[in-house]
A and B are shown apart, each in its own frame.
Chain A
Amino acid sequence: MVTIKALWRDGKTPQVQVANVGRSGDELLLLRDGVQYRYRLADLRLEAGVADLPDTLQLPDGGTLEIADRIAIRRLIGGLSWGDRSGHWLQQSWRALAGLALLAIAVLWLGYRHLLPLAAGALAPLVPVAVEQTLADSTLQWLDQSGATGPSRHGEARRAQLQQQLQTLLPGSRYRYRLLLRDTAAIGPNAFALPGGTIIVTDQLLALIRHDDELLAILAHEAGHIEARHGLRSALQSSGLLLALSLITGDASSVLLVLPVSLANADYSREHEREADRFAYARLREHGLSPCLLGQALVRIETDIAHRHGDAAVSDGSWFASHPATAERSRPDGVRCPPLPD
């Protein structure tokens, strides 16, 4: 009879006893204190030790046997459970780990590139338009109270005219577009979309872009963000990403995730910009306008920023940039655009 050395504990007191374990038929023999105990193998549960820890054999009476000779006890009992065995194999084999690591990279890439945006895209439409509008209202209120924006120097007529132009560009939208003008030196020439159909245009942008067609191209781009619900989707994607990363890294501190999450968010943001660009190109074409108008407007804005703040303020092509490079955006679907008109 094979005997294996084991440490017996009753599970109720801290006492430890050296014992010997053997097998006879379908029974386990336990010899301790000069007395032999018998257990049916079917009543026992062998727990594989993690990494280099000893195995533990759970006895039906609540006692346990700690067994350092893992190979011997596994042979004696007749092997580990399927789950334990495969887990153990993965822990031992470098080749398995390498293969799995490759698979994991593929899964990560798929999840990052397709699964997460897909899930966010599926979830975002569940939020009713009314909720999006309340969200926009509170943002607008915050913006106005923060002092960053002031009332526009343009009259109501200009605002109504732009809103009218935008509305005719987007027939059949589920949103009722609301165009607002604000004077803001802090933000500079810019237009931004709030969820639910609100677009804010700064006086500085109106001063810079004098061609109404180019202005319309920018408005169409912002409408692209609203139609595709990019605000909600970004929020969903970044919280999904944070959750996934914290699950994966286990007990690691979330401070470590600042860099990967900010890189990923910028990447997602660039993807959204491209999507909004494509939306704008399509609307412009539908109305017999050139898709080059958007790129022209962007070049004007960029030149203005570079002129006022220096080249460093233009964040083209960086991994952290929230927008794609303007050079890329000046070639709608690969089309070569004419030089900038005055």
Chain B
Amino acid sequence: MNQDQHHPAPPGGKYVLSFAFTATTRAYYRLWLVNMVLTIVTLGIYSAWAKVRTQKYLLGHTTLDGGRFDYHGKPIAILKGRLIMLLALAAWTFSESLPLLHAAIALLAIAAAPWLGVQALRFRLANTSWNQMRFHFSGSSADSYKAFAKSWALLILSLGLAWPWATQIKQRFITGHSTLGQARLQLQPCTGALYRAALGTALAAVCYLLGTGMIGGMIWQAATLSGLAHGIAVQFGEAALTQLDIVFFAMTSALWVMATLAYARMAISRVLINHTTLQLAALEACLVWSLPTRQMLGLHFSNMLALLLSLGLAWPWIRIRTLRLQLQPLSLRSSSDLSALPLYTPDNRLDDARGDELAELMALDLGW
């Protein structure tokens, strides 16, 4: 597998270790269907197994330098986490009629966020492996509180303008405490690039708005001209048509927001990943993600179109093609072959998914 002839050293003495993604849409569709059906039949209990199987499938088909990634989360642990998440959600929903309690819960959630983030990252990384070597998150809660507090304070004091800087502080803490064996990941300063990514996102939002408006208008025109709209009006009444129009408009706007957010996430990840390095003794490696902006723009726009036209059923196809496009141009440029490294990982198994599920509920952005 990790033999030298697979990746000849290019000029400059750098090895290019590439990522590959071999999952197929067909298999993923099937997995998605079975997961969905079993989750319904078991009234949601199977959703924990579904998550593990999905992660195992997607990570198992991701390789770096020929070595597979893998997921090791235990369904029972995830189920326990989901139960606690459910309780938290119920408390949140029920307290809506009691403003004081509602505010108290919100405050508690904010106060716990940095700690939850650490718990979630520990679980996620300890249960992800490459070549059966587990990743590890070594950040402490105290450091997490420091990083989050700095990041939030900056965000509030600058009225959001220092967002890239704040993101960098938070992400430096997260990346800097992620390890594979004794190799430590590190995020290099990238505030300027993050500002450019934010600017690019604003431009992308305008592009998407024009595109969505055009295509939405075309569909609307087509429905009017083909007599479909008239048929609906005759069959179900004018009001039904009006409401259908409103729903159509709401859906297209929602999709526009979704495409813009997806673009933003990818643009930010691209900056962060391209500034991530791996360091161990003599080894210097950096991640390179050479994804052209044009491709990113096209990807999210076509994803949005597919979702709209398929009424959401194209989701598994979109997930696979997005991952494929993301992983194909990703590589690790290293000064030496990884297999020759004295990478040694201490045993770290972790089976407590409570923090992970709660962090997911709060949509905590942890960048992994």
Residues of A within 8 A of B (CB): 7, 9-16, 49-53, 56, 62-64, 66, 87, 90-91, 97, 100-101, 103-104, 107-108, 111, 127, 131-132, 134-135, 138, 232, 235-236, 239, 243-244, 247-253, 255-256, 258-259, 262, 311-321
Contacts and interface: CB of A to CB of B under 8 A. Distances in A.
Contact of B243 (A11, A13, A236, A315): A315
A314 B93 CA distance: 33
Contacts of A52: 24, 27
A134 B97 CA distance: 8
A121 B64 CA distance: 53
21 contacts: A9-B133, A11-B134, A14-B130, A51-B27, A51-B30, A66-B68, A90-B38, A101-B33, A127-B97, A134-B97, A236-B93, A244-B44, A248-B44, A250-B54, A253-B258, A256-B312, A258-B250, A315-B239, A315-B240, A316-B237, A317-B236
B57 interface: yes
A51 B31 contact: yes
A236 B96 CA distance: 11
Given A13-B344, A50-B56, A247-B47, A312 B242 contact: yes
A30 to B, nearest CB: 15
Contacts of B51: 250
B140 interface: no
Contacts, number: 177
A255 B257 contact: yes
Contact of B89 (A101, A243, A258, A312): A243
A193 to B, nearest CB: 16
Interface string B306-334: 01000110010001000000000000000
B1 A7 contact: yes
Given A64-B132, A250-B51, A53 B339 contact: no
A99 to B, nearest CB: 10
Contacts of B342: 13
B283 interface: no
A51 B239 contact: no
B2 A249 contact: no
Given A13-B343, A316-B239, A249 B67 contact: no
A258 B97 CA distance: 24
B336 to A, nearest CB: 13
Contacts of A249: 36, 315
